[in-house]
Amino acid sequence: MDDIPLSPPYRLATPRLSLTAADPRDAPVVVEAVGKNLEQLRPWMPWAEQAPKLDDAVERLRRVRSDFDRSEDFSYHAWLGSKKQPEASEPGGRFVGATGLHSRAGEGGLEIGYWVDRELVGRGLATEMAMAMTQAGFLAFGVDRVEIHADPENEKSNAIPARLGFTREGTLRARIPFPGGYRDKVVWCLLRSEFAGTPSADLELAAFDALDRPLLLLR
């Protein structure tokens, strides 16, 4: 994508979270978290059919990190505990879940994805992750459009973009591939011109490059 910088944020810090570029070394933690969250993830996530094996997770995360390093797609792991100082770069906190900015939204846009450990649901962490991704999309990646896609039946997931000032553009029929068929998806969108004044714009966010040096966010 032409509008993605050569040095994307490898770490983002919010008031409660440290969001780090997905890393194969996180595989054991991710496997454990996905395994215990299968019941809540399976209805909404096509990839959550069964618990991943460790070696398979390592290989998948290698591909995910490769996409990140080539500035093609950007997946992050979320940890409790904000670490804004460059010398405190290791996550070290409790694994929260995953988020990301994905290029499948097409030219000029990025799509946010997110999931949170069931033990931490209800604390607003998914909302905070989405706020961080929204702000990063506009101020770090410089895109013109940020989208969130969700299953029409997933009320909790749809509530997040509604809360953050996104516009519900409509429902696309039979667009999410699932075992046994396709499901509809709701498309939410926020434009760069609409970003100012939204909750995401007010989020305290710090960004760091691959060497954990502070990045200046566009304003």
37-93 pLDDT, tens digit each: 999 999 999 989 888 999 999 999 999 999 999 999 999 999 998 654 433 334 457
Total domains present in the chain: 1
- Indicate the DSSP class of residue 140: T
Could you tell me the two tokens for 180? 């046994």
Whether residue 140 lies inside any domain: the answer is yes
Whether residue 185 lies inside any domain: the answer is no
Distances in Å between the Cα of 41 and the Cα atoms of 133, 138, 176, 212 are: 20, 28, 15, 32
Segments of the chain with pLDDT less than 70: 1-7, 82-92
Whether residue 121 lies inside any domain: the answer is yes
pLDDT digits (tens, 9 = 90+) for 44-58: 999 898 889 999 999
Distances in Å between the Cα of 187 and the Cα atoms of 59, 141, 165, 168, 184 are: 30, 21, 13, 6, 10
Could you tell me the two tokens for 131? 């706020």
Boundaries of domain holding 85: 11-146+205-211
Contact assessment for residue 103 and residue 136, using Cβ atoms and an 8 Å cutoff = no
Contact assessment for residue 130 and residue 161, using Cβ atoms and an 8 Å cutoff = yes
Q: What is the CATH number of the domain that holds 69?
A: 3.40.630.30
Whether residue 56 lies inside any domain: the answer is yes
How far is 41 from 34, CA to CA, in rounded Å? 8
Whether residue 4 lies inside any domain: the answer is no
The backbone region for 92, taken as left when phi is positive above 0, alpha when psi lies in -120 to 50, beta otherwise, is left
The burial of 98, by beta-carbon neighbours within 10 Å (0-12 exposed, 13-18 middle, 19 or more buried), is given as buried
Whether residue 1 lies inside any domain: the answer is no
Main-chain phi, psi angles of 48, to 5 degrees: -95, 40
Residue type, 165: G
Main-chain phi, psi angles of 194, to 5 degrees: -100, -5
The burial of 39, by beta-carbon neighbours within 10 Å (0-12 exposed, 13-18 middle, 19 or more buried), is given as exposed
Whether residue 16 lies inside any domain: the answer is yes
How far is 159 from 50, CA to CA, in rounded Å? 27
Could you tell me the two tokens for 5? 């910088």
Whether residue 75 lies inside any domain: the answer is yes
Q: How high is the pLDDT of residue 42?
A: 93
pTM above 0.85, yes or no: yes
Q: How high is the pLDDT of residue 93?
A: 78
